[in-house]
Amino acid sequence: MRLLVINPNSSTSVTQHIAAAARMAAYANDEILAVEASGAPPLIVSEADARLAEQAVVNTVRSIESPLDGVIVASFGDTGADALRAFLPCPVVGIGHASLLTAAALGGPFAIVSFAPAVVPSMQAMVEHYQMQHLLSGIHVIDSPLPDDPGEIQTTTADALQALCQQVAQQGNCRSIILAGGPLAGLALRIAPALPLPIIDATMAAVQLQRSLQLFGGRADK
């Protein structure tokens, strides 16, 4: 399975986290091509950021000429996923949708945990877009200054995010937690041992969903 994993922001350091998480979920013979969207904002927080990033995602993917079995859009808002589906013959999976489907499969309500208050409106809108709001127990975020380098977000916020996840789990209102946001890729595995319930890494969930899609036919032009 040859997957393109595109980071819709322009941060190389975030792409490195995303690539590492994708490869942890991949099989040994899978090929993961991880790139960031050229010309996109360094971090997607607002709707304006998302609009700029969507065009950057499309332009970047169009520039890749080698054949692909699937594409993963590695922002929790699935930025540009619908636009890519309009012209690509292979399956396109967003990490946001993949994580919601995984949480639904685990059963019962789920919570979302992320790194900044500014991302809450877009995450709420994304859940509603996929008609999953009836399963959402809440969106919980920390409120701490963010580093200049988005790739350092998970390093500087890991302890606070773990504490928040523990607090959410102890409330007893959910059966799983989604750790949301491309900059947090891979962090869920580090937090998981401290929690009494599943915590979902969105990037890894997307790789697993792509594997299922390949099993059932994969490319739309077959």
The DSSP annotation for 21-87 comes to HHHHHS-TT-EEEEEE-TT--SS--SHHHHHHHHHHHHHHHHT--S--SEEEE-STT-TTHHHHHTT
| Cα separation of the two ends of the chain | 15
Q: What is the mean pLDDT of residues 208-213?
A: 95
What's the mean pLDDT when you consider all of the chain? Answer: 93
Taking 70 as the threshold, does the pLDDT of residue 183 lie above it? Answer: yes
Tell me: the pLDDT tens digits for 136-160?
999 999 998 989 898 999 999 999 9
Q: What is the mean pLDDT of residues 12-38?
A: 95
Which pLDDT band, with edges at 50, 70 and 90, does 48 fall under? confident
Taking 50 as the threshold, does the pLDDT of residue 84 lie above it? Answer: yes
Which pLDDT band, with edges at 50, 70 and 90, does 102 fall under? very high
Which pLDDT band, with edges at 50, 70 and 90, does 50 fall under? confident
The predicted model scores a pTM of: 0.93
Q: What is the mean pLDDT of residues 55-62?
A: 95
Taking 80 as the threshold, does the pLDDT of residue 217 lie above it? Answer: no
Secondary structure class of 111 (helix, strand, coil): strand
* Poorest-pLDDT segment among 34-43, 79-88, 138-147, 193-202: 34-43
Which pLDDT band, with edges at 50, 70 and 90, does 220 fall under? very low
Whether 147 contacts 156, CB under 8 Å: yes
Q: What is the mean pLDDT of residues 152-180?
A: 97
Q: What is the mean pLDDT of residues 80-92?
A: 95
Which pLDDT band, with edges at 50, 70 and 90, does 222 fall under? very low
pLDDT given at position 45: 75
Taking 90 as the threshold, does the pLDDT of residue 117 lie above it? Answer: yes
Which pLDDT band, with edges at 50, 70 and 90, does 47 fall under? confident
Torsion (CA) 14, 18, 20, 24 in degrees, nearest 10: 160
Residue 156: burial class (beta carbons within 10 Å; 0-12, 13-18, 19+)? middle
